[in-house]
Structure 1
Amino acid sequence: MIVINGGHFFDLAGFYEEVSEVLMKNADWKVGTLDGFDDILYGGFGVFEPHEEIELIWKKSGKSGHDLGFEATREFYERKIKQGKPFNIEMIREKLNELIAQKGQTLFDILVEIIESHQNIKLILD
């Protein structure tokens, strides 16, 4: 059983710090992107091995849903658009427009989807 505590962070950078601490003890690198987060969930980088069945409990997930909700996601996309390369600006604008139209995913939704895409991980939102 692995626990992510939403009380330990309030933004995406804090989430990355939390999962780096919880999932990658003694590893020499830290999570810093959505792709990096997905990568560590394959196992072998920290506290569990590839294909190992694990239970991941996300405590205070309601708080995280708010913290990583609409505003944080809008700011996330706007920063990427402003930065430009190497990001696909057209795709990010489309995602931002979907978010504004309340048809797109928030960062919280994206993180949950990433976790749930790993068949060996059972996610419990607490």
Structure 2
Amino acid sequence: MEWNTSNKNKKKTAVINGSHFSDLSGFYEEVSDVPMKDEDWKIGTLDGFDDILYGFKGEIIWKESSKSKQNLGFDLTKEFYENKITQGKPFNIDLAQQKLNELIDGKGQTLFEILIEIIESHKKIMLILK
């Protein structure tokens, strides 16, 4: 993810490039590159991604978002929940099973939709899908 800061009003622009990744771990790498470069930890969870957005004010431009929507869609999301269920603790197996059932029933969110929801929950961020 590229970050640019305007000196005028401290608003930032971040660019997520969907052509740089095809799975969730690749997404985490993409969004960890710039904001976390001086840290000794990397983003590796949805909560971690949510955490780095606090204090960010500006816009996030998600290039190649249609590719990300497809890559982070039903199949990868199904695998994501199945892995949580298989691994067990520390994950909430019942919640993961519920989310998997909702996904299969056509009522649940894909990983892409979850990421969009996380970004949009931060009121000082404008998301632009390209």
1:7 aligns with 2:19: yes
SS of 1:55's partner is strand
1:16 aligns with 2:28: yes
User: What amino acid does structure 2 have at the position aligned with 1:57?
Assistant: I
Give how far 1:73 is off: 0.1
> What is the CA–CA distance in structure 2 between the aligned matches of 1:5 and 1:22, rounded to whole Å?
13
Give how far 1:91 is off: 1.1
Runs of 4+ in 1 over 4 A off after TM superposition: none
Instruction: Return the TM-score normalized by structure 1.
Output: 0.90
> What is the CA–CA distance in structure 2 between the aligned matches of 1:22 and 1:76, rounded to whole Å?
25
* Alignment gaps of 5+ in structure 1: 43-49
2:107 pairs with one of 83, 103, 109 = 103
Give how far 1:72 is off: 0.3
User: What residue is the counterpart of 2:119 in the other structure?
Assistant: 115
1:27 pairs with one of 13, 16, 39 = 39
Give how far 1:54 is off: 1.0
> What is the CA–CA distance in structure 1 between the aligned matches of 2:66 and 2:86, rounded to whole Å?
30
Alignment of structure 1 residues 2-81 onto 2, 5 Å: 2-42=14-54, 50=55, 52-81=56-85
Give how far 1:28 is off: 2.4
Give how far 1:6 is off: 0.2
User: What residue is the counterpart of 1:92 in the other structure?
Assistant: 96
Structure 1, 24-33 or 90-99: larger mean CA deviation: 24-33
Paired residue total:
118
Instruction: Return the TM-score normalized by structure 2.
Output: 0.87
> What is the CA–CA distance in structure 1 between the aligned matches of 2:35 and 2:21, rounded to whole Å?
15
C-alpha RMSD of the superposition: 1.0
Structure that is richer in strand per residue: 2
The answer to whether the Cα contact below 8 Å between 1:2 and 1:22 also exists between their aligned partners in 2 is no
